[in-house]
Chain A
Amino acid sequence: MAVAAAAAAARIWGSSRGLGQAGLLLLRRPGAWGLARSLPQRRAQQHFPSLDDKPQFPGASAEFVDKLEFIQPNVISGIPVYRVMDRQGQIINPSEDPHLPQEKVLKFYKSMTLLNTMDRILYESQRQGRISFYMTNYGEEGTHVGSAAALDNTDLVFGQYREAAVGAAYAAKRANANRVVICYFGEGAASEGDAHAGFNFAATLECPIIFFCRNNGYAISTPTSEQYRGDGIAARGPGYGIMSIRVDGNDVFAVYNATKEARRRAVAENQPFLIEAMTYRIGHHSTSDDSSAYRSVDEVSYWDKQDHPISRLRHHLQSRGWWDEEQEKAWRKQSRKKVMEAFEQAERKPKPSPSLLFSDVYQEMPPQLRKQQEALARHLQTYGEHYPLDHFEK
């Protein structure tokens, strides 16, 4: 009875394979009657070898299991952290040494330290009221420099915009541009729906993109224990069908190696890669934040003193005889001078004219906006003394 109803249902709802074919196959059993006899025998000999052995669902291919068991999310021993150097800067496995020339490794070091110097000066300048807002990179210099060094000059870099990065990668693929797109985001931003959309689209549309997650332990004051319960961000990649790796973000060579290989394969194979760089945010979230409100000074001090990407690389350079104290002193002075000069030069420049407030909303300025622009100009003619016009170009 159920069989006949199933067959009737199959005819009503159309030729969708699952129910229809299953219904027909059930009718093969001896003893089935009613509609069964009227159906041609050869339809029953379809290409399913045996329904009992393998699930045929379009949604997933796997084996059957007859024991009730939930999958345990494994957070204690999760995805391992790839590293090349130990905390003293010594290469652990020589076959993982990227064998970069001295000049390039020095460039790594100078970039990281110049960034660090710029951070100090700009953070101070905010405290002095000379700029309005700043975010430092303390502790994460290895993730920036190591990954950037592994890219080509024509590759596209997106800070944050996860879905747009995927679109750009798709267009680059169509254009045969031989470009990879890299998108940086933190472990906090990975909670946004944007990340989910970005991952899923990148995988389904086969885009040459590297998702680079900087897991630095905090999203402002929110520690990772309140940000996620799974095994970080790297563990999510396989859920989307994405090649994934977790690396030591404080090891610039590990970051470099992983990004280099991801770039090569992303472009060659048109598939996304997810790199989760583990690191620690030594500084405050921004100049509007005082992290002593939510974490201990000891914790911060540990990372600053014991596991810092710049120190690690410096040890490595020194052990190879590529750097010494004298060069360090000279470079610190030089980098500071460089930043100060650039800062002061920028500070002297007047800000652009207030009329530019209205440009680039659209490619062309619509008449309404032009009227508003003229209204502001007229207003400033009368009330200009109440506005900081001295700091702006006319």
Chain B
Amino acid sequence: MAALAALAATVGGLLRLRAAGAEGQWRRLRGAGLLRGLLQPDSATGVAAQRRHVAHFTFQPDPEPQEYGQTQKMNLFQAITSALDNSLAKDPTAVIFGEDVAFGGVFRCTVGLRDKYGKDRVFNTPLCEQGIVGFGIGVAVTGATAIAEIQFADYIFPAFDQIVNEAAKYRYRSGDLFNCGSLTIRAPWGCVGHGALYHSQSPEAFFAHCPGIKVVVPRSPFQAKGLLLSCIEDKNPCIFFEPKILYRAAVEQVPVEPYNIPLSQAEVIQEGSDVTLVAWGTQVHVIREVASMAQEKLGVSCEVIDLRTILPWDMDTVCKKFREAAYGKEELDFGRRMTVFERNSGFKNNTVLQLKINYIQQCQKGKKNDSLQGSVIKTGRLLISHEAPLTGGFASEISSTVQEECFLNLEAPISRVCGYDTPFPHIFEPFYIPDKWKCYDALRKMINY
């Protein structure tokens, strides 16, 4: 009997440890008498024992912000909590609701808020996403601030009708008599290493197709707090996707007081002259690393852009409206012909080089006249990357717009490095995600086009 009890305890212990992924400790326990006969190591089949794989990116914190007062070290979920705390403090109508938010949430984003603000302001709802969003719309229609949590972005689809047919159209269909602008929907988003089909999705493309809402994805704690506060205060219904893999992994200094980061503004986080790289959320850190690799191995200078807002997206920063008046079509055409000639002939002489320099200067002058940044105009090459599947992913919208606006500036076809057109896989995740090697390879091909 005692032996059986011991067995039960050990099996339980084993299961717990295994769940924690501590393979080393497991191997230690294996030696303990009773179990040798029961549990065979993987080496029996010849497959090496597996470790939980290392993350595919390295989070790069931004320098400590100076202009917003005192800062504190926060990870992503703490930055979210801080934003929510600020919101509930200054807006007495604000309420937070969703599944399991009362005890703090499955990702700890709402820890402490119910105790601080009361159970009528931070509360659980039944398990029903269409209800959560529909209820949120109603709260917002009365003018109160509604912050709805969907437990995983993968579960947002039951609420799709409420978001697309109700929330997005509320103001339009009533001729501005009514609106649900004070609604914000938050959801954990993106791959996490082991999330598989239903805990890894990035559904921003579905919502990009829906006029009337805004869709925002932050890359870091500092960005998240500022963008979330902007979403909450924005007078339109917003969806705020939080990269769950960054909840703990991303740590940086974040201001304690509220501050805003504007929506619909992309951020050029690194200037470059040869290739433009665009991404959002976790993938920004991947392309940042790709930019370093490109500089180191290829001597290629990359411009790295975090799109931040998917809808309405910042077209101006990524490309610029082609203005014939600014540089003259002839000059542009000539410059392009010179580039082709140069490449085809392998012939470099000073005259050609000088013409090319003139051309680039013309473009940059044109850019300065406009006081807009036109990244692709500057570089001529664009690579967009996201975890969501390739077909119909948001990279296709960016690609299509850029080729319309910057056609003659393009030196190579626009490159999209995305997830495959499959559901998000479980064990195949390392092969599925658009990691730095795939991005690097695509970049290399683009340079050599």
| Chain A residues in the interface with B (C-beta under 8 A) | 1, 4-5, 7-9, 11-13, 33-35, 156, 158, 161-172, 174-175, 181, 193-194, 196-198, 200-201, 204-205, 359-364, 366-369
Contact = CB atoms under 8 A, between A and B. Distances in A.
A193 B166 CA distance: 15
B266 interface: no
Interface string B186-220: 00000000000000000000000001101000000
Interface stretch (B8-16, B290-298, B332-340, B361-369): B8-16
Contacts, number: 146
Interface stretch (B32-40, B60-68, B135-143): B135-143
B134 interface: yes
A171 B134 contact: no
Contacts of B1: 1, 4, 33-34
A171 B142 CA distance: 7
A266 to B, nearest CB: 15
A242 to B, nearest CB: 14
Given A33-B1, A200-B128, A362 B212 contact: yes
B312 interface: yes
12 contacts: A4-B4, A156-B142, A163-B135, A164-B141, A167-B136, A170-B138, A171-B143, A193-B130, A201-B135, A359-B176, A361-B212, A363-B181
A240 B144 CA distance: 26
A174 B93 contact: yes
B134 A166 contact: yes
Contacts of A4: 1, 4-5
Given A1-B1, A164-B166, A362-B212, A8 B137 contact: no
A1 B1 CA distance: 6
B82 interface: no
A11 B11 CA distance: 12
Contacts of A200: 126, 128, 131
B138 A363 contact: no
Nearest to B162: A163
Contacts of A168: 138-139, 141-142
Contacts of B315: 367-368
A11 B12 CA distance: 9
B8 A12 contact: yes
Contacts of B141: 164, 167-168
* Size bracket, chain B contacts: 35 or more
* Interface hub of B5, B120, B134, B146 (most chain A Cβ within 10 A): B134
Contacts of A364: 235
B312 A368 contact: yes
A163 B134 contact: yes
A174 B144 contact: yes
Contacts of B144: 171, 174-175
Contact of A5 (B5, B143, B176, B312): B5
Interface in B29-79: none
B110 interface: no
B134 A167 contact: yes
B164 to A, nearest CB: 13
A205 B119 CA distance: 11
A220 to B, nearest CB: 19
A201 B126 contact: yes
B131 A363 contact: no
* Interface hub of A7, A174, A197 (most chain B Cβ within 10 A): A197
A143 B133 CA distance: 29
B134 A197 contact: yes
Interface in B364-378: none
A238 B166 CA distance: 28
Interface string B91-124: 0010100000000000000000000000011010
Contacts of B235: 362-364
A162 B120 CA distance: 21
Contacts of B120: 174
Nearest to B173: A360
Contact of B128 (A167, A174, A201, A363): A201
B128 A12 contact: no
Given A201-B128, A205-B123, A361-B212, A175 B138 contact: no
A294 B277 CA distance: 61
Given A161-B137, A167-B141, 6 more contacts: A12-B13, A163-B133, A163-B137, A174-B93, A174-B120, A175-B142
A1 B4 contact: yes
Nearest to B128: A197
B172 interface: yes
A230 B136 CA distance: 30
Contacts of A205: 123, 125, 135
B142 A9 contact: no
Contacts of A164: 134-135, 137-138, 141, 166, 180
A363 B182 CA distance: 11
A88 B445 CA distance: 86
* Interface hub of B8, B131, B179 (most chain A Cβ within 10 A): B131
A363 B139 contact: no
